[in-house]
Amino acid sequence: MSQEYPGPTERRREIGQIVSGSLTEGLQMKLCPEESVEDVRAGKFVVVDGQKNEFFSMITDVVLSTSAKGLIGNPPARDDELMRSVLSGTTTYGTVALRPNLMLPKDSADDGEPDLRPVKTIPGHFSAVYSADARDVNRIFGDETKDSKYFNIGTPLDMDDIPVCLNLERFVERSNGIFGKSGTGKTFLTRIVLCGIIKNQRAVNLIFDMHSEYGWKGSYEGDRAEVRGLKQYFREKVAVFTLDPESSRRREAPVDFAVKIPYSQITAEDIILLQNELNLTSTALETSYALVNRFRDGGWISGLLRMDADDMKDFCDTNNVNQAALAALQRKIRVLAESCKSFLVDDGAGGAEDDAVKKIMSYLEAGNHVVLEFGQHTQPLRYMLVANILTRRIHENYVRKKEESLGGKGGEPRPLVITIEEAHKFLSPSLANQTIFGTIAREMRKYNVTLLVVDQRPSGIDGEILSQVGTKITCLLNDDKDIDAVLTGVSNASGLRGIMASLDSKQQALILGHAVPMPIVVKTRHYDDEAFRGSMMESKRSDDEIRKDMDSDFA
């Protein structure tokens, strides 16, 4: 038996009525006389009460209108308050553009999942339009108190006490993106989303932490200097790896493992990724493949660095390689080796990288989450090299385990979400087909591995990759190219463009895609305030107990 609810007029506030519109162009609403046009904001969530359906819609534009065109050339005097009051709401009024996104038949039951449908028709003339209420938001976006697949990401505009939830089950099914210009709060948003995935146990995370913001603690651009990292929230569920132990000691940030990478783990494809950073020519890249063929044991970097002039001449004569190109490649690789010498080691180190990958895999397989801090190694050259090497090896492991599970030789690997910042450096049009990140983005969830890309310049990401991003959480963007890139493959892009341009510079985002039933603008949650801390699952172990369990070098 369905639950009875009061009618729309008893639980919502009417703000206007439909006066025109079309299925393709959207609806036009005349604002009620008692409503101020200044209270109507682009991105607001409203409900149109049709005769047979309710239409869940978003405000996309606001226009000043008049039924007396002569008023435009002869407006009432500024001090004539009486005339202004008489004209307001009748002769002069506000017209609001709405975009219906979902429709719900009125005869559907309210005691189960709502029968939400794509919009195939429009409401009739003079249909009432209401501000959405808490029940509307919960019906559309879910309720985290009733189902753990939902996670509160923020609140709708002008509805500060009503949570909007991401469907995390759908979120981890595809690669996703968090975009916004510098200073808009992308890192805070990313932390919030990662907390939701960890708390609700929907996937394991591998986070390439370029600026040491996700592990033990992070920075805050307000009065407080620091905020809690994922390790302080989830304790033993999160492991922190580092490429820079000295930086960790200076920051008094405990870590679990120091990563070393031998030369033998660098492939020619890794060097291709760095061609812009190393200023390599196509000839130099072809030379690297010749070296790989010569040193088939994987030691081509060590072999190249050990070559003297005579060795180089013999190699070039034997393999038909340009000697100048080989010499140039050796110089660039030497620069790379020197730049990364604190974690990039000769193969005499005895397979340190294998241990690091195995260690990371052991944590991920156990359901723990891994943060890899770069410390002072924030140069794009180092970040791109390490992220690509480790992701390639881990992806190979996941592919093997997935294939074994399909053959009945093992269990299904846990879904893995890999978070990368500065994503355009890995997914540019020239590199997207050559990097492991491009492969993962195109595979969708074929091998249970997806990406969470965080970037301030989405226009630098390959358009094909962006079109396959499942959910986009977008803060303020000013550049038209970046806005166009985010809206690649999105219906009603013109209406959403205006909404994106009107976002506040902080703590506000447009969410659209696979993890939400319809686009919506939210005021994002405060990260690490008392309410957020209280909603997270925290271990009862103290900070001192955690430090004791760390490697003795970092205790």
* pLDDT the model gives residue 110: 63
Q: Residue 275: pLDDT above 90?
A: no
CA-to-CA distance for 97 and 28, rounded, in angstroms? Answer: 5
Q: What is the mean pLDDT of residues 411-425?
A: 91
Q: What is the mean pLDDT of residues 523-541?
A: 77
Under the banding of pLDDT at 50, 70 and 90, the label for residue 539 is: very low
Q: Residue 540: pLDDT above 50?
A: no
Q: What is the mean pLDDT of residues 464-476?
A: 92
Q: Residue 552: pLDDT above 70?
A: no
* pLDDT the model gives residue 5: 39
What one-letter code names the amino acid at 454? V
Q: What is the mean pLDDT of residues 65-76?
A: 75
Q: What is the mean pLDDT of residues 73-96?
A: 74
* pLDDT the model gives residue 489: 78
Q: Residue 223: pLDDT above 60?
A: no
| Tokens 């009620």 sit on residue | 32
Residue 201: count of CB within 10 angstroms of its CB: 13
| Digit-coded pLDDT (tens) for 293-328 | 888 776 899 999 999 999 999 999 988 888 888 999
Q: Can you give the length of the chain in residues?
A: 555
* pLDDT the model gives residue 85: 72
Under the banding of pLDDT at 50, 70 and 90, the label for residue 109 is: low
Of 144, 189, 195, the residue nearest 167 (C-alpha): 144
Under the banding of pLDDT at 50, 70 and 90, the label for residue 541 is: very low
Q: Residue 87: pLDDT above 70?
A: no
* pLDDT the model gives residue 32: 92
CA-to-CA distance for 141 and 136, rounded, in angstroms? Answer: 9
* pLDDT the model gives residue 232: 92
Q: Residue 347: pLDDT above 70?
A: yes
CA-to-CA distance for 16 and 128, rounded, in angstroms? Answer: 6
* pLDDT the model gives residue 151: 96
* pLDDT the model gives residue 102: 95
Of 421, 418, 409, 419, the residue nearest 448 (C-alpha): 418
Under the banding of pLDDT at 50, 70 and 90, the label for residue 224 is: low
Q: Residue 61: pLDDT above 70?
A: yes
Residues 6+ apart with CB under 8 A from 163: 137, 144, 152, 153, 154, 155
Mean pLDDT of the chain: 86
CA-to-CA distance for 383 and 471, rounded, in angstroms? Answer: 25
Number of DSSP helices (H) and strands (E) in the chain, helices first:
22, 23
Q: What's the predicted TM-score (pTM) here? A: 0.86
Q: What is the mean pLDDT of residues 229-250?
A: 92
| In the chain, % of residues over pLDDT 70 | 89
* pLDDT the model gives residue 274: 86
CA-to-CA distance for 65 and 228, rounded, in angstroms? Answer: 50
User: Which tokens hold the place of 325?
Assistant: 């190109």
CA-to-CA distance for 311 and 331, rounded, in angstroms? Answer: 15
Under the banding of pLDDT at 50, 70 and 90, the label for residue 114 is: confident
Q: What is the mean pLDDT of residues 406-410?
A: 85
User: Which tokens hold the place of 29?
Assistant: 């609403």
Longest dimension (CA), the chain: 97
